[in-house]
Amino acid sequence: MTKVNRYEASWESLARWEVPKWYLDAKFGIFIHWGVYSVPAFGNEWYPRNMYRQGTPEFEHHVATYGPQSQFGYKDFIPMFGGERFDPHEWIALFSEAGARYVVPVAEHHDGFAMYATERSRWHAARLGPRRDVVGEIAQAAREHGLVFGLSSHRAEHWWFFHPGTEFDSDVRDAEYADLYGPAQPEDTQPNEEFLEDWLARCIELVDRYRPQLFWFDWWIEQPAFKPYLQRFAAHYYNRGEEWGLGVAINYKHDAFPEGTAVLDIERGQLGDLKPFFWQTDTSISNNSWGYVQHQEYKTPTHIIGDLVDIVSKNGALLLNVGPRPDGTIPEREQEILREIGRWLQVNGEAIYETRPWRRYGEGPTQVVEGQFSDTKRRPFTAEDVRFTTRPGRLYAILLGWPAGETVISSLGPGELPAERIVRVELLGHPGELEWAQDDAGLRVRMPSHRPCDHAYALRITLREG
């Protein structure tokens, strides 16, 4: 019998796709930026480009530390990228302890070094560096531990990533390494057919070999030349998901995909209000880099948990990045932050996982700046900042700070939530019911004297049907 594909390479056909339930329920995942760029551990994961940009700190650091780029180029870091202590089961166990429900390793970053066993290039981790199929091993470990497996491709930006190295005497000019550094074109040019066909083949190879349930794309795929290739890829991927019997999804940025054909992703930023469509924030555990560097500026667990709550209340999910060292170990501070998030979710996960938005996302004085690269611009949340989530028969009001004695939630006054519908009010992690009353100011709840956890505090309001 001839197989009939549900999806064709058109936006009209792809609009039939729906966000899978696992994704709507998961809310929290881990992103992993691990690659050759972790070896110099300077600046950020764009070191491979910036080391060839004359006048940058990375350029000057590289010359002073390793010598001129004609004698020591980016390729020469690959033998130093050993991954001697890489243990995918340790990683996944940590992510599970953190409360993550899905994991997304970078399969190929802008630098063109694939972290998987590819037939499209000789520059990959199964052949060089760690000499292991990193993506494949993470996929196996994730599935054994019950996490959903995804991956990311940043290959599109490789079209122009190493172009600065063509402007002076560097190994980027050496034809022997053109298959690593090329095409090295100016950023303001559109990719040609040869590059686009190769890009598509690499993406399809990742899908067919590793069966990811999430495929994350970085930003440059929004270029006009990619549009027909995105349609071809999405049709192939969504049809494969149907064939596997697995819910699959694509992440995109800006306007690369029409709304409803994939999941919008906002880098290091959020949306300011509740949206009718499901979306995602991807951000890093540190403010200055996605990959490992020696001087990270880490966010606090309170900041990350506040963002998680705010994002979920607005119909989103959080993909939080970590950056392992070149030997494959995750920095101790990153482990501590992940475990602290996990301890919070052990108490409050009921108000996060499998929830859906309420009719409004929340209330309070702290406004989130909407858009990309805005997640460090907001003031700290306060006890007056409240975010709502729901599940059948329950409304959760998550306080983003600890109130003194009593909290008043103005959104839950008699006009929004009649008192006869409220069965009881409880605080997750605290035994027994809480005293409450309702008046024109809102729902008043008497808080206990001791906090059941740190960072944020979830009230569970059990409701009668009405």
Q: Are 27 and 310 in contact (CB under 8 A)?
A: no
- Of 261, 262, 257, 362, the C-alpha closest to 309 is 362
Place of tokens 């996605």: 290
Q: Are 19 and 25 in contact (CB under 8 A)?
A: no
All structural domains of the chain: 11-351 (3.20.20.80), 382-463 (2.60.40.1180)
pTM over 0.85: yes
Q: What is the pLDDT of residues 274-296, one digit of tens each?
A: 999 999 999 999 999 999 999 99
> What amino acid occupies position 379?
R
Whole-angstrom distance, CA of residue 299 vs CA of residue 284: 9
- Of 395, 417, 413, 398, the C-alpha closest to 461 is 395
Q: In what order do the strands lie in the sheet with 436-439?
A: 406-409, 442-446, 436-439
Question: Kindly report the CA angle at 83 between 81 and 89, in degrees rounded to 5?
Answer: 155
For 105, residues 6+ apart whose C-beta sits below 8 A from its C-beta are: 31, 32, 34, 115, 134, 135, 138, 151, 152
pLDDT in tens, the chain (466 residues): 557 799 999 999 999 999 999 999 999 999 999 999 999 999 999 999 999 999 999 999 999 999 999 999 999 999 999 999 999 999 999 999 999 999 999 999 999 999 999 999 999 999 999 999 999 999 999 999 999 999 999 999 999 999 999 999 999 999 999 999 999 999 999 999 999 999 999 999 999 999 999 999 999 999 999 999 999 999 999 999 999 999 999 999 999 999 999 999 999 999 999 999 999 999 999 999 999 999 999 999 999 999 999 999 999 999 999 999 999 999 999 999 999 999 999 999 999 999 999 999 999 999 899 998 888 878 899 999 999 999 999 999 999 999 989 999 999 999 999 999 999 999 999 999 999 999 999 999 999 999 999 999 999 999 998 7
Q: In what order do the strands lie in the sheet with 386-391?
A: 362-363, 386-391, 394-399, 457-463, 422-427
